[in-house]
Structure 1
Amino acid sequence: MLIQAEQLRAETDLILRGAGSSAEEAAIVADHLVEANLRGHDSHGVGVLPAYIRNIGAGRLRPNRHAEFLRQDPTIAVVDGGMGFGQVVAREATDWTIGAAKESGLALLALRNVHHIGRVGSYGEQAAAAGLIMLAFVNGISGAPRVAPHGGREPRTGTNPICIAVPHGDAPVVLDFATSRIALNKVRVARNEGRHVAPGSIITHEGEPSTDPEVLYGEGPRGALLSFGEHKGSGLSLICELLGGALAGGGAAQRADAADPAIINGMTAIVIDPGRVVDLPWFAREVEAVVAHMKTAASIDPDRPVMVAGDPERASRARRLAEGIPVDATTWREIGKAAASVGVVLKAV
């Protein structure tokens, strides 16, 4: 079914307030989740609400927390999230980093002990909107590991996303990807929609290739996601553990507790003011020129022109604003149960 963005945002806001969030927090988190849906990343959209509500009930996600600055130098901040909503804490921490980079030209953020920060690209967009470049490395140390290292058949890490954002007018270049072949929640979405995932994405517990989401979500022994690009993605995943986990102070994959239902993220982000490095008008022209140059390449499929990072999300947003956001029946039922658990009755459809 299709649900209009504003309707879905209103329902999400009600559920979050029912679970204990302030009006301000509920609005921020609802906006973030629905924006993820609009941009085509349903894995990080409203489908995560049931897990969030369960974690609030278990005391592992704590509403109405804010960024706690453990260290705040002119160019370096260490932030503890107090297991609050990542969409709030990471946004606040990114705001500080943007301000510090504008003041000093370069700033580093180390964020730890925060619940799921959601779509990492949103923080890259936040920096790019301020005319700044961001590089972010994220890890997770909660729940059972899901991604096997290259050459292994047992999972050892989370999906460990990387985001690099570069300002480019109203269409910033935002590279935001999991270091696994696909994000874990994309497997959940596929399962809920009754379809298989792309070949080369997952393996069984015996190391055999599979496309069946039940390999990760079924009752039997669980398999693992594969990293993208074989050793390359696996290597980048390790870097996320070292930078987003060890350097940020929250810990790396070996600390993960398979019995912990929470979603605990760590992130190290570097924000750069390009105007401190190169003539800014020249840089802007060069970015525009190279983006245009990439798009002049003849496409393999005439119906699918060459795009750069950020273009697919903008195209999805325009389409879904006009047509509505698709939500499968299983996900909607799960959201309905989560809503009912906090005294909210869904009204959107």
Structure 2
Amino acid sequence: MPITLQAHDLEQHISRIFVAAGSSASEAQAVAANLVMANLSGHDSHGVGMAPRYIDAILEGGLTPNSDVAVRVDSGMLLGLDGQQGFGQTVGVQAMNLAFERVAQHGACIMSLAHAHHLGRIGHFAEMAVARGWVSLHFVNVLSRPVVAPWHGGDGRFGTNPCCIGIPVGMDDTTREPFVLDFATSRVAQGKMRVAHNEGKEVAPGTLIDEHGQPTTRPGVVVVPQSNGGYGALMTFGEHKGFGLAVACELLGGALSGGGTWHRAADAKRSVYNGMLSIIIDPKALGTQLSFAQETLAFIDWLRQSPASPNSDGVVVAGERERTARAARKKNGIVVDDATWQEIQDAARKVGVTL
């Protein structure tokens, strides 16, 4: 049976596991809070179900607790950073805060981050920027077993390579909820396939190919080894357009950051590394702050005036579903499916913790 836990209780469980695995109390709490926020936001793929993989990565030596971001290049508006295989949830925040210092000084910052362990929900970093009234763009690659097929390809060649854009709407007393677009360039995130597999569900046609390159609706093809010992693959969204954006994220997030791209045979390692190129802009520095605020408000209002299409709830702007999910799950609790909860308990036992 699924288990339902309040966010605070779930945070404490996950934090205990990371402390036992070697994290400081503050790091463990920060990582646990980030994972639980993903669950609260409706993105269970990036939530506490990732904790077992993180524990495996620590035990195999690919994730180093208590690592800090290192500055490799600092030339004013340009920052080149290295996550040193630390928790993405902590080195990612450190990287953003360093970038924010440069934005405050120069009005903008281009920041690259290499060798961070799994950064989690990239929308978290965009939310940090829009809370300051700043625009942010993020291009991310994934160094792990390749799970996404190229357009017209028959096997996995790269990761889910997310792209994220955060834009504040309005200013001061007219501020509205921000636009936060955060999506994998695959049709769905790999973690959503793990969740669907654990829940015994099939997925929509056109999402996956199996280990033979044939269409399938079974999410397990990208979660567990198949009949030939291999795996299937996710498809990119938007056919050749999504594929093009995925390649751009690989080259910008991976090659440009110095973190590298994936071009080798798959392995069974549990570590997941991300490279990220981020661009943060203060509209005030462009001299457009007032008109920017007015235009963002006017355009979002214009969108909302569109009549709802049949069998829909009307126009939904990026970021709304996450905010709605947070309100509901904070009130009703977070449901963790039985298989995921068992995986979390098993991970806890690996580091001597009983939940």
Instruction: Give the TM-score category using the shorter length.
Output: over 0.9
What displacement does 1:286 show? Answer: 1.3
Identity of aligned residues (%): 46
Residues 281 and 72 of structure 1, relative CA distance in 2, 3 Å threshold: same
Counterpart-to-counterpart distance in 2, 1:59 and 1:207: 33
**SS in structure 2 opposite 1:253?**
coil
What displacement does 1:260 show? Answer: 2.9
Cα deviation digits, residues 266-298 of structure 1 (max 9, x gap): 001011111122431221121111112112211
What displacement does 1:202 show? Answer: 0.4
**SS in structure 1 opposite 2:177?**
coil
1:1-349 equivalence runs, <5 A:
1-142=3-144, 144-168=145-169, 169=175, 171-220=177-226, 221-254=230-263, 258-301=267-310, 304-346=313-355
Cα deviation digits, residues 223-245 of structure 1 (max 9, x gap): 11000000011000000111000
Counterpart-to-counterpart distance in 2, 1:30 and 1:237: 28
**Contact conserved, 2:163 with 2:185, CA < 8 A, in 1?**
yes
**Contact conserved, 2:57 with 2:269, CA < 8 A, in 1?**
no
**Contact conserved, 2:202 with 2:219, CA < 8 A, in 1?**
yes
Cα deviation digits, residues 13-62 of structure 1 (max 9, x gap): 11111111111101110111000000000000000000000111111100
**SS in structure 2 opposite 1:206?**
coil
Counterpart-to-counterpart distance in 1, 2:269 and 2:176: 40
Counterpart-to-counterpart distance in 2, 1:18 and 1:286: 50
Structure 1 letter corresponding to 2:135: I
Counterpart-to-counterpart distance in 2, 1:205 and 1:151: 15
Cα deviation digits, residues 281-332 of structure 1 (max 9, x gap): 2211211111121122112246623110000000000010111111100000
Residue 172 (structure 2) aligns with: none
**SS in structure 2 opposite 1:36?**
helix
Counterpart-to-counterpart distance in 1, 2:31 and 2:76: 29
**SS in structure 1 opposite 2:197?**
helix
Counterpart-to-counterpart distance in 2, 1:44 and 1:193: 16
Counterpart-to-counterpart distance in 2, 1:163 and 1:216: 24
Structure 1 stretches of 4+ moved >3 Å: none
| Runs of at least 5 residues in structure 1 that lack an aligned partner in the other structure | none
Residues 241 and 326 of structure 1, relative CA distance in 2, 3 Å threshold: same
**Contact conserved, 2:194 with 2:220, CA < 8 A, in 1?**
no
**SS in structure 1 opposite 2:126?**
helix
**SS in structure 2 opposite 1:167?**
strand
Structure 2 letter corresponding to 1:80: D
**SS in structure 1 opposite 2:294?**
helix
Cα deviation digits, residues 240-260 of structure 1 (max 9, x gap): 111000100011121575243
TM-score (norm 1): 0.96
Aligned residues: 345
Counterpart-to-counterpart distance in 2, 1:106 and 1:262: 32
Counterpart-to-counterpart distance in 1, 2:349 and 2:136: 39
The CA RMSD measured in Å over matched residues stands at 1.3
**Contact conserved, 1:138 with 1:245, CA < 8 A, in 2?**
yes
Structure 1 letter corresponding to 2:84: G
After alignment, is 296-305 or 23-32 more displaced? 296-305
What displacement does 1:161 show? Answer: 0.1
Structure 1 letter corresponding to 2:147: R
Structure 1 letter corresponding to 2:162: P
Counterpart-to-counterpart distance in 2, 1:194 and 1:239: 34
After alignment, is 264-273 or 285-294 more displaced? 285-294
**SS in structure 2 opposite 1:49?**
helix
**Contact conserved, 1:101 with 1:272, CA < 8 A, in 2?**
yes
**SS in structure 2 opposite 1:70?**
strand
| Runs of at least 5 residues in structure 2 that lack an aligned partner in the other structure | 170-174
**Contact conserved, 1:81 with 1:111, CA < 8 A, in 2?**
yes
**Contact conserved, 1:56 with 1:62, CA < 8 A, in 2?**
yes
